[in-house]
Amino acid sequence: MVINFNDEYILIFMSMKATAVANTNIALVKYWGKRNEELILPYNSSISVTLNNLFTITTVEFSKNLPHNEFVINNRLLNENEVEYSRIDNFSRIFKKLAGMDLNLKVVSKTNFPIASGLASSASAFAALAAAFNTALSLNLTYEELSKYARFGSGSASRSIYGGFVKWFKGEFDDGSDCFAKQIKDENYWPDFRILVCITSSKEKFVKSREAMHRTVKTSEFYDAWLQTVEKDLDEMEIAINNRDIRSLGLIAENNALKMHATMITSKPPIIYWNSATLKLIKSVLRLREEFKVNAYITIDAGHQVKIITTSDEIDRVKNYLSDIKEVEQFIVSSPGQGVKIVQEHLF
């Protein structure tokens, strides 16, 4: 059925409302740097794992009865002049254009973990928005199309469309038509896989990832070195996932994250996200591994939180050992989670 959104009758009686839940994801081989900032095209491909209990739930409704857009994020009504408002507005226009309509939009969204602090909140936020728009507007997009469009909200959101282990392909074409993510293995593939998220501070980070990425590409002399080693990391990471080899996976992920931070630290002016708890966690995990032969490996995104890659049989030992670091505000244990899904309970 082709819906004509200009038909007044249909607009009054049709509910263009949907709610989606998307989990965040943690990159095991990071996305860092854009070859095209407008189309959000990365210089390098990346591999992530979608996490099971760090999520965003979002309800959207397009309505003729709304006098203006209304975006409520974590109980806060956004002002039209805010960057976040424009990001959601611009993102919604992609889907409105696909549907051939231009109604006002209400969005209510909640994320169950600290946002803008290096926990990839934009990944779950824009993946949930994309899926909710798709359903509300009956667009019937495929997963690959959803991933491609989610990318325009935030690059890492392209990966949160899927559960389990996911690869976002950088693509070769200038128009980005081959730039989307695909699932490598689903969320049930490796039941013992764990990520321990250590919240070292719920404060927002001082430089947004988008700006940090831009500055690194433009000013770090290490950026080319980063690009030269990423392909190898990607190939080896896929092998480690295929073999369920936690040691190889952890070592590649840890080294990849530290290389990414080396490009940030050598940017001008430098971007150093780590706080004292971040550093203590890094050193403790290295000690756990070297002295006690525990399979634990760190990864850190554009922020101060530390995520520890380990397995179900080691997780309690890791957590107990790290509980001495009093600055850590919260530990969250996570396993591979599902991709984005539509739910029937709305937030309004």
Question: Is 19 or 209 the residue whose CB approaches ligand 2P0 more closely?
Answer: 209
CB of 301 to ligand 2P0, least distance (A): 4
Exactly one of 41, 88, 103, 120 binds ligand 2P0 (CB under 6 A); that residue is: 120
Q: How far, in Å, are 5, 41, 51, 252 from residue 256 at the CA level?
A: 47, 20, 19, 6
Rounded Cα distance, 205 and 158, in Å: 22
Longest dimension (CA), the chain: 71
Exactly one of 19, 45, 46, 200 binds ligand 2P0 (CB under 6 A); that residue is: 46
CB of 216 to ligand 2P0, least distance (A): 10
Rounded Cα distance, 94 and 150, in Å: 10
Provide the Cα torsion 240, 321, 288, 195; round to 10°: 10
Pick the stretch among 96-104, 153-161, 234-242, 320-328 that binds ligand 2P0 (CB under 6 A): 153-161
Rounded Cα distance, 332 and 277, in Å: 16
Pick the stretch among 148-156, 170-178, 179-187, 232-240 that binds ligand 2P0 (CB under 6 A): 148-156
27 binds ligand 2P0 per the rule CB under 6 A: yes
CB of 330 to ligand 2P0, least distance (A): 20
Which tokens sit at 117?
A: 């602090």
CB of 322 to ligand 2P0, least distance (A): 22
Which tokens sit at 154?
A: 């935030």
CB of 313 to ligand 2P0, least distance (A): 27
Chain-centre distance of CA 101, in angstroms?
29
Q: Where do we find the tokens 């000690």?
A: 287
> Which residues are near ligand 2P0 by CB under 6 A?
27, 30-32, 40, 46, 120, 122, 154-156, 209-210, 213, 301-302
